[in-house]
């Protein structure tokens, strides 16, 4: 038996015991495991370890992310029913029972080595599953420490430790692939290579699409408010999130004012020479390198040898672009505090430009819209984007990174894994949530027969095309 086979077998044994828990017992386990990362001292240690070992992001922002994402998820889970009857309709004779899926393989990225594993773990446990985490190699140490805290909490509530396990070090593609083959469900977040591996593992899988989020600032926007939200979002955790704005499309009527607002908020616009210097380090052969991923602007300025003296003091850097696609690498995802800026003639032109950029990279994820704060303008513009762009979310007048994965100020489920639908080559377009970790069994009872008449169901057709 291989080490991975042994881990999965132990998970199966623990899950079979856990499946007998009542809803109250499950809820207690979930609350206990949540405290493993919500407790401030443990959270701080995990945040520091994450940045130390991955070299990505910001400790204070990691702390905030670990706390807010977990707190929000626990809020979502607190009222969810995942044991026994979860739906009943006597009129249709249907009753639905929540059932676990078994052992979940949780594939997690280096960008969020604490927040993403705990999110998947809590969702899995809420649905009476066991879970085995496959962290990125860089995120291994953070995940291992998190599991030490989780096991302490499981001991406290007398739940099996083997409900939550991880792959042993060193993390390899072979061990991760073996885990995915042996598990009952794969939930994958990270590189598109990992997502493709999950989908081809032979195990049912949920995987997420690529980022490259753009935001539109239209002629009705509160420019200072938009700039403040974009800045808050862009610089959070040094743009590790797939929901971080990679570009902003600004309507021409307010372009100069919007640029000024972004500069006032801490952005620094690079000239063409510095843009070329940055491109030479950030992209190799038109493809994004990891050299500048999730680094501070000061580090980026130094590594790219930028000449603008303000670059080292910037909150984020900006480059102007007038094209898209492989000929314009800055139109793609950057995973760093670098923001691409386009000028569009009007809102329709802005929408068209987003379409072209997303066809290159980013279809399915999300788009941001900064417009009038309320009223018909806001509703019509949001509706236009929702009906025409290949996106699963239209985020209106919010800091995109904060809002897309669920926020206390919107109604999306808290998550660190955003489905992008078929546009992003995913099989779902929701924020990944506990319902993706459930099987549902339906009891189907007989009801009085109701057979409709053909002429009633096809009445509109027959009215237009009378049959001979």
Angle, alpha carbons 438-440-445 (nearest 5°): 170
Q: Which residues pair with 132 in a beta bridge?
A: 105, 165
Give dist(CA 106, CA 127) in Å, integer: 14
User: Closest Cα partner for 340 from 279, 281, 397?
Assistant: 279
CB neighbour list of residue 134: distance below 8 Å, 6 or more residues apart: 105, 106, 107, 108, 166, 167, 171, 175, 176, 179, 180
HSE-CB for 309 with a 13 A CA cutoff: 0
CB neighbour list of residue 91: distance below 8 Å, 6 or more residues apart: 447
> Contact at 8 Å (CB) between 189 and 109?
yes
User: Closest Cα partner for 137 from 163, 167, 165, 115?
Assistant: 167
Give dist(CA 69, CA 75) in Å, integer: 10
Per annotation, catalytic residue among 143, 242, 251, 420 = 242
Q: Does 127 qualify as catalytic in the annotation? A: no
Burial of 240 (0-12, 13-18, 19+ CB in 10 A): buried
Q: Which residues pair with 454 in a beta bridge?
A: none
> Contact at 8 Å (CB) between 114 and 148?
no
CA distances to 151, 259, 346, 375 from 29, in Å: 11, 49, 53, 45
Active site residues: 242
């Amino acid at each position: 038996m291989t080490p991975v086979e042994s881990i999965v077998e132990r998970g199966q044994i623990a899950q079979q015991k856990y499946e007998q828990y009542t809803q109250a017992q499950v809820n207690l386990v979930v609350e206990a495991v949540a405290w493993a990362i919500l407790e401030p001292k443990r959270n701080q240690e995990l945040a520091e370890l994450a940045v130390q070992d991955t070299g990505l992001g910001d400790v204070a922002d990691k702390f905030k992310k670990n706390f807010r994402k977990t707190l929000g998820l626990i809020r979502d889970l607190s009222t969810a029913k995942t044991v026994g009857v979860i739906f009943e309709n006597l009129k249709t004779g249907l009753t639905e029972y929540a059932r676990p899926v078994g052992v979940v393989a949780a594939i997690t990225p280096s960008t969020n080595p604490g927040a993403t594993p705990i999110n998947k773990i809590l969702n899995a446990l809420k649905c009476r599953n066991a879970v085995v985490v496959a962290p990125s190699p860089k995120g291994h140490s953070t995940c291992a420490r998190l599991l030490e805290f989780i096991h302490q909490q499981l001991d406290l509530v007398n739940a099996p430790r083997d409900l939550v396990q991880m792959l042993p070090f060193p993390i390899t593609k072979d061990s991760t692939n073996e885990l995915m083959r042996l598990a009952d469900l794969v939930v994958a977040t990270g590189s598109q290579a990992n997502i493709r591996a999950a989908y081809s593992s032979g195990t049912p899988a949920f995987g997420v699409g690529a980022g490259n989020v753009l935001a539109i600032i239209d002629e009705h926007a509160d420019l200072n408010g938009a700039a403040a939200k974009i800045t808050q979002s862009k610089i959070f955790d040094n743009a590790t999130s797939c929901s971080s704005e990679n570009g902003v499309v600004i309507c021409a009527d307010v372009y100069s004012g919007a640029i000024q607002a972004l500069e006032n908020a801490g952005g620094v616009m690079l000239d063409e020479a510095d843009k070329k210097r940055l491109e030479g380090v950030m992209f190799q052969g038109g493809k994004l390198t990891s050299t500048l991923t999730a680094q501070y602007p000061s580090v980026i300025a130094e590594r790219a040898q930028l000449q603008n003296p303000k670059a080292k003091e910037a909150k984020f850097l900006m480059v102007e672009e007038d094209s898209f696609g492989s000929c314009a690498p800055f139109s793609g995802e950057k995973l760093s505090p670098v923001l691409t800026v386009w000028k569009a003639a009007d809102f329709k032109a802005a929408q068209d430009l987003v379409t072209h950029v997303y066809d290159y990279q980013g279809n399915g994820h999300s788009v941001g819209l900064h417009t009038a704060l309320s009223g018909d303008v806001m509703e019509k513009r949001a509706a236009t984007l929702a009906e025409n762009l290949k996106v699963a979310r239209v985020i209106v007048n919010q800091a995109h990174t904060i809002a897309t994965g669920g926020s206390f100020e919107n109604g999306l489920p808290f998550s660190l894994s955003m489905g992008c639908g078929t546009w992003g080559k995913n099989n779902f377009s929701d924020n990944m949530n506990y319902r993706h970790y459930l099987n549902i069994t339906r009891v189907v009872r007989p009801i009085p027969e109701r057979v409709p008449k053909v002429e009633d169901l096809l009445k509109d057709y027959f009215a237009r095309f009378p049959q001979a």
